[in-house]
Amino acid sequence: MMKNIDTIVKKIKQANLPQSDFVKLMEEFHDPFLVLICCILSLRTNDKTTYPASLRMLKLGKKPEDFLSVDEKDLAEAIYPVGFYQNKAHQILEIAKELVEKYNGKVPASIDELIKFKGVGRKTANLVMAKGFQIPAICVDVHVHRISNRLQLVHTKTPDETEMALRKLLPEKYWLDINTILVTFGQNICKPIKPLCNECPIKDYCPEFQN
Protein backbone atom coordinates (compact mmCIF):
# COMPACT_ATOMS: atom_id res chain seq x y z
CA MET A 1 0.00 0.00 0.00
CA MET A 2 2.84 2.42 0.76
CA LYS A 3 3.94 2.23 -2.88
CA ASN A 4 0.61 3.91 -3.74
CA ILE A 5 0.97 6.73 -1.21
CA ASP A 6 1.91 9.30 -3.86
CA THR A 7 -1.23 8.50 -5.84
CA ILE A 8 -3.41 8.44 -2.73
CA VAL A 9 -2.23 11.87 -1.55
CA LYS A 10 -2.54 13.31 -5.06
CA LYS A 11 -6.12 12.08 -5.50
CA ILE A 12 -7.22 13.41 -2.10
CA LYS A 13 -5.73 16.81 -2.93
CA GLN A 14 -7.34 16.84 -6.38
CA ALA A 15 -10.74 16.28 -4.75
CA ASN A 16 -10.51 19.85 -3.35
CA LEU A 17 -12.45 18.96 -0.22
CA PRO A 18 -13.55 21.94 1.88
CA GLN A 19 -11.44 22.63 4.95
CA SER A 20 -13.07 23.62 8.22
CA ASP A 21 -12.50 27.19 9.39
CA PHE A 22 -10.39 25.88 12.26
CA VAL A 23 -8.12 23.89 9.94
CA LYS A 24 -7.68 27.00 7.79
CA LEU A 25 -6.82 29.02 10.88
CA MET A 26 -4.14 26.57 11.96
CA GLU A 27 -2.68 26.59 8.45
CA GLU A 28 -2.40 30.39 8.54
CA PHE A 29 -0.70 30.78 11.92
CA HIS A 30 2.96 29.76 11.45
CA ASP A 31 3.30 30.74 15.12
CA PRO A 32 4.22 28.00 17.61
CA PHE A 33 2.43 29.59 20.56
CA LEU A 34 -0.82 30.18 18.68
CA VAL A 35 -0.77 26.64 17.30
CA LEU A 36 -0.12 25.32 20.80
CA ILE A 37 -2.92 27.11 22.63
CA CYS A 38 -5.49 26.62 19.87
CA CYS A 39 -4.64 22.94 19.62
CA ILE A 40 -5.26 22.66 23.36
CA LEU A 41 -8.73 24.14 22.80
CA SER A 42 -9.43 21.62 20.05
CA LEU A 43 -8.87 18.54 22.20
CA ARG A 44 -12.15 16.62 22.56
CA THR A 45 -13.99 19.47 20.83
CA ASN A 46 -15.26 19.72 17.26
CA ASP A 47 -13.92 22.33 14.86
CA LYS A 48 -17.20 24.27 14.69
CA THR A 49 -16.94 24.98 18.41
CA THR A 50 -13.16 25.40 18.53
CA TYR A 51 -12.91 28.00 15.76
CA PRO A 52 -15.00 30.82 17.32
CA ALA A 53 -13.58 30.00 20.75
CA SER A 54 -10.06 30.40 19.36
CA LEU A 55 -10.92 33.81 17.89
CA ARG A 56 -12.35 34.96 21.23
CA MET A 57 -9.25 33.74 23.05
CA LEU A 58 -6.92 35.51 20.64
CA LYS A 59 -8.61 38.82 21.45
CA LEU A 60 -7.20 38.41 24.97
CA GLY A 61 -3.66 37.72 23.81
CA LYS A 62 -1.38 36.32 21.15
CA LYS A 63 1.90 35.99 23.04
CA PRO A 64 2.76 34.19 26.28
CA GLU A 65 3.43 37.57 27.93
CA ASP A 66 -0.09 38.75 27.08
CA PHE A 67 -1.66 35.96 29.10
CA LEU A 68 0.20 36.82 32.30
CA SER A 69 -2.36 39.56 32.94
CA VAL A 70 -5.42 37.57 31.79
CA ASP A 71 -7.82 36.47 34.50
CA GLU A 72 -8.53 32.75 34.45
CA LYS A 73 -12.28 33.31 34.72
CA ASP A 74 -12.23 35.71 31.75
CA LEU A 75 -10.31 33.18 29.66
CA ALA A 76 -12.69 30.38 30.64
CA GLU A 77 -15.66 32.51 29.62
CA ALA A 78 -13.99 33.36 26.30
CA ILE A 79 -13.33 29.75 25.31
CA TYR A 80 -16.65 28.32 26.53
CA PRO A 81 -18.15 25.92 25.40
CA VAL A 82 -15.06 23.93 24.35
CA GLY A 83 -14.72 20.68 26.25
CA PHE A 84 -13.20 21.04 29.74
CA TYR A 85 -13.00 24.80 29.19
CA GLN A 86 -12.16 25.60 32.81
CA ASN A 87 -9.28 23.11 32.89
CA LYS A 88 -8.03 24.37 29.54
CA ALA A 89 -8.11 27.99 30.68
CA HIS A 90 -5.98 27.08 33.70
CA GLN A 91 -3.64 24.99 31.54
CA ILE A 92 -3.08 27.74 28.97
CA LEU A 93 -2.27 30.33 31.64
CA GLU A 94 0.14 27.94 33.35
CA ILE A 95 1.88 27.19 30.05
CA ALA A 96 2.17 30.91 29.25
CA LYS A 97 3.67 31.55 32.68
CA GLU A 98 6.13 28.68 32.32
CA LEU A 99 7.16 29.84 28.85
CA VAL A 100 7.93 33.32 30.13
CA GLU A 101 9.73 32.17 33.27
CA LYS A 102 11.71 29.23 31.90
CA TYR A 103 11.90 29.68 28.12
CA ASN A 104 12.18 33.46 27.69
CA GLY A 105 8.70 33.52 26.18
CA LYS A 106 9.65 31.17 23.34
CA VAL A 107 7.98 27.84 22.63
CA PRO A 108 10.68 25.13 22.52
CA ALA A 109 11.17 23.52 19.11
CA SER A 110 11.42 20.04 20.57
CA ILE A 111 8.82 17.33 21.04
CA ASP A 112 10.61 16.10 24.16
CA GLU A 113 10.43 19.60 25.67
CA LEU A 114 6.85 20.25 24.58
CA ILE A 115 5.45 17.13 26.20
CA LYS A 116 6.87 18.30 29.52
CA PHE A 117 4.10 20.90 29.68
CA LYS A 118 1.08 19.66 31.59
CA GLY A 119 -1.63 18.39 29.26
CA VAL A 120 0.51 18.47 26.12
CA GLY A 121 0.74 15.09 24.43
CA ARG A 122 2.46 13.93 21.28
CA LYS A 123 -0.44 14.95 19.04
CA THR A 124 -0.24 18.56 20.17
CA ALA A 125 3.57 18.58 20.22
CA ASN A 126 3.78 17.26 16.66
CA LEU A 127 1.26 19.81 15.42
CA VAL A 128 3.29 22.62 16.97
CA MET A 129 6.42 21.31 15.29
CA ALA A 130 4.76 20.95 11.89
CA LYS A 131 2.48 23.99 11.75
CA GLY A 132 4.28 26.29 14.16
CA PHE A 133 7.91 25.66 13.26
CA GLN A 134 7.53 24.04 9.82
CA ILE A 135 9.68 21.18 11.08
CA PRO A 136 8.65 17.75 9.67
CA ALA A 137 6.52 15.93 12.26
CA ILE A 138 3.55 13.59 12.01
CA CYS A 139 0.54 14.77 14.01
CA VAL A 140 -1.78 11.82 14.54
CA ASP A 141 -5.31 12.62 15.67
CA VAL A 142 -8.41 10.41 15.47
CA HIS A 143 -8.76 11.02 11.72
CA VAL A 144 -5.16 10.16 10.84
CA HIS A 145 -5.30 7.11 13.11
CA ARG A 146 -8.61 5.86 11.68
CA ILE A 147 -7.78 6.42 8.01
CA SER A 148 -4.26 5.01 8.24
CA ASN A 149 -5.72 1.80 9.64
CA ARG A 150 -8.61 1.66 7.18
CA LEU A 151 -6.13 1.91 4.32
CA GLN A 152 -4.02 -0.71 6.08
CA LEU A 153 -1.00 1.56 5.94
CA VAL A 154 -0.58 0.57 9.58
CA HIS A 155 -2.11 -1.92 11.98
CA THR A 156 -2.15 -0.07 15.28
CA LYS A 157 -4.38 0.38 18.31
CA THR A 158 -3.49 3.91 19.45
CA PRO A 159 -2.60 7.24 17.81
CA ASP A 160 0.87 7.13 19.36
CA GLU A 161 1.48 3.70 17.83
CA THR A 162 0.24 5.06 14.49
CA GLU A 163 2.68 7.97 14.68
CA MET A 164 5.63 5.68 15.28
CA ALA A 165 4.56 3.34 12.47
CA LEU A 166 4.07 6.20 10.00
CA ARG A 167 7.47 7.65 10.90
CA LYS A 168 8.99 4.46 9.53
CA LEU A 169 6.77 4.19 6.46
CA LEU A 170 5.69 7.64 5.29
CA PRO A 171 8.10 9.67 3.12
CA GLU A 172 9.19 12.76 5.05
CA LYS A 173 7.97 15.05 2.28
CA TYR A 174 4.42 14.35 3.52
CA TRP A 175 5.01 14.83 7.23
CA LEU A 176 4.16 18.53 7.36
CA ASP A 177 0.82 18.21 5.56
CA ILE A 178 -0.43 14.70 6.26
CA ASN A 179 -2.53 15.82 9.22
CA THR A 180 -4.32 18.56 7.27
CA ILE A 181 -4.83 16.25 4.30
CA LEU A 182 -6.30 13.36 6.29
CA VAL A 183 -8.29 15.50 8.73
CA THR A 184 -10.04 17.21 5.81
CA PHE A 185 -10.54 13.85 4.11
CA GLY A 186 -11.89 12.35 7.34
CA GLN A 187 -14.30 15.21 8.00
CA ASN A 188 -15.74 15.09 4.48
CA ILE A 189 -15.48 11.52 3.18
CA CYS A 190 -13.84 8.92 5.39
CA LYS A 191 -16.04 9.63 8.39
CA PRO A 192 -15.97 7.47 11.53
CA ILE A 193 -19.59 6.37 10.98
CA LYS A 194 -21.11 5.87 7.56
CA PRO A 195 -18.11 6.91 5.44
CA LEU A 196 -19.03 8.08 1.93
CA CYS A 197 -17.22 5.23 0.22
CA ASN A 198 -18.97 5.58 -3.13
CA GLU A 199 -17.81 9.20 -3.34
CA CYS A 200 -14.29 8.44 -2.16
CA PRO A 201 -11.49 9.54 -4.53
CA ILE A 202 -9.24 6.72 -3.31
CA LYS A 203 -11.74 3.87 -3.05
CA ASP A 204 -9.75 1.85 -5.56
CA TYR A 205 -6.87 1.80 -3.07
CA CYS A 206 -8.94 1.05 0.03
CA PRO A 207 -8.94 -2.59 1.24
CA GLU A 208 -12.16 -2.02 3.19
CA PHE A 209 -13.99 -0.82 0.08
CA GLN A 210 -12.63 -3.71 -1.96
CA ASN A 211 -14.01 -6.12 0.62
**Structure pTM?**
0.95
Please provide the DSSP assignment of 14-32 as one string. HTTPPPPHHHHHHHHH--H
The answer to whether the CB of 130 falls within 8 A of the CB of 175 is: yes
pLDDT in tens, 102-133: 999 999 999 999 999 999 999 999 999 999 99
Write down the pLDDT at residue 132: 98
pLDDT digits (tens, 9 = 90+) for 73-90: 999 999 999 999 999 999
- pLDDT tens, residue by residue, 126-138: 999 999 999 999 9
Q: How far is CA 194 from the centre of its chain?
A: 23
pLDDT band (50, 70, 90) for residue 144: very high
